[in-house]
Amino acid sequence: MATESPLALQMGYPEAAKALCPLKQAQIALPSEVVEYRVLQRSLVKRPGSSPTGPKTVKLTRPVGSVMFTTGRTWTGPKGGEWVELDSFVERPGWLLVQGPGFGIPGPLLQRVKPGETQPLLLRVAKPVEIGCAREEEREMREILVSLTASVRDAKEWIALIFGLSDPRRIIVGKPGDARARAGATGAGFHIKSCDGLLDDETSIADAGFSDGDELCYVYTGDLEKSYEGKEPEWVGKLGVAPKPKAAKLPNSRQTDDFPELSVHFEVLQLAPSTARDQIKRQYRLLALECHPDKHPDDAEAATRRFQEVKSAFEAIRDALHL
């Protein structure tokens, strides 16, 4: 029985398949089933390599709402942190922190995507400041994901969590369209025409009329010096079901204008340059499975060449766009 080379054992597949030359059918491993995790906060914590117990940790930045591809394998650290293994067929090898203490980031960072679940709305919120402390252009904006079935109370819990506000009940949320953001007030600040422009805690995000990308305008009437003592929103991990989730699109200019050399790689993957980030990963996995040498034993050499072409095209796009 043939054994794997030391290089293959050290690097793992598919990196070993790329490094060994000439490339042979036996050196390319079929990708395992992927489990997607949605990014809830822009800052992620990663432990590179095949083991989650390694001492090195690095921080990644990924768009809120984008998807990371994993193997689904999880590990719980000694302090209770939950980690998930990245799918090295698409992502660079390593483990990502799902949630846990010790890294200065409150709340969950990732959420497992369930098949067919509703794509949550991405809303923008401003960090609360004291009256007169910030101008419009100086406001620190963050993004949150909120399920359409979530309530205004859930959104307030999420805002309190990421900004460290002590009492979510002291957040007053304005209706989209009726509330206009105004800098220099405690909280994000907004103008309203009347009390009818305020949202009740039990109102669902869908009934409130929010759309993807809207700013959620609010005022915080509590003490900014007190830290948050609540819990993460109860709706986290309990999204509803819809026929087909949507993926947030990367601006076209980031792909076509800044990286015109990527056009040939998009052609290899049979994609338009404006394709959403997550769909690029899904298409790569689909093509890689279709042309994998194990599925073409009668013409393994040609399949291997096609497989490597697809893999190289994806890696060029991934490296340039930081997928």
Which phi and psi angles does 46 have, rounded to 5°?
-130, 140
- Asked if residue 174 lies in contact with residue 190, where contact means CB atoms within 8 angstroms, the answer is yes
Q: Is 236 part of any domain?
A: no
Confidence tier at 242 by pLDDT (50, 70, 90) = very low
- Asked if residue 135 lies in contact with residue 125, where contact means CB atoms within 8 angstroms, the answer is no
Q: Is 262 part of any domain?
A: yes
Output 195 or 300, whichever has higher pLDDT. Answer: 300
Q: Is 189 part of any domain?
A: yes
207 lies in the same domain as 135: yes
Structure tokens at 215: 């700013």
208 lies in the same domain as 263: no
133 lies in the same domain as 195: yes
Q: Is 165 part of any domain?
A: yes
Determine the structural domain holding residue 49 and report its residue range. 35-112
The domain total for the chain is 3
Where do the DSSP E strands lie in 16-109?
35-39, 43-48, 58-61, 67-76, 82-86, 94-99
Q: Is 166 part of any domain?
A: yes
Q: Which tens digits make up the pLDDT trace of 9-25?
A: 233 333 333 333 333 33
Q: Is 231 part of any domain?
A: no
The CATH number covering residue 185 comes to: 3.10.20.90
258 lies in the same domain as 206: no
Structure tokens at 3: 């054994």
- Asked if residue 40 lies in contact with residue 145, where contact means CB atoms within 8 angstroms, the answer is yes
Q: Which tens digits make up the pLDDT trace of 87-132?
A: 988 888 999 999 988 888 888 999 999 888 888 899 999 888 765 5
Q: What is the pLDDT of residue 47?
A: 95
Q: Is 170 part of any domain?
A: yes
- Asked if residue 58 lies in contact with residue 43, where contact means CB atoms within 8 angstroms, the answer is no
Q: Is 142 part of any domain?
A: yes
293 lies in the same domain as 263: yes
Q: What is the pTM of this model?
A: 0.71
